Amino acid sequence: MTKDDMQFEEPEIIYIPDEDGNEEEFEVIMKFEVDGSDQKYMMVVPLNVEDEDAEEDEVYAFRYEEEGDDLKLYTIEDEEEWNMVEETFNTLLSELEEEGK
């Protein structure tokens, strides 16, 4: 991913149903592909955090596929895959922080 891939624009909001079927709002903070794979990932943060005890900087990662206007999210359950996504996210985050200095 290059710097040019990350444009600053209106935040992208997605709705993800919880276990009770209530749709919760999340803001997409980053999308990326992991080198050497054709899998796409997104990092999201909850928008409506009403629980005072909740972590404010809680970030969720999903693997996703786009089919036209449909977005399919998949939870990352494989520890090896999770570690790869976390490492990529942290690398991209540190690159962004370096640019901002």
For residue range 37-78, what is the model confidence (pLDDT) as tens digits?
A: 789 999 999 987 665 555 556 889 999 998 888 889 999 999
Closest CA to 76 of 47, 51, 28, 44: 44
Query: pTM for this one?
Result: 0.74
Outline where 3-69 has alpha helix (H).
Answer: none
Closest CA to 30 of 60, 56, 57: 60
The set of long-range contacts for 4-12, using a CB threshold of 8 Å and a minimum separation of 24, is 6/30, 6/96
pLDDT value for 3: 46
Q: What mean pLDDT value characterizes the chain? A: 83
What residues contact residue 55 under an 8 Å CB cut-off, 6+ apart? none
pLDDT value for 58: 85
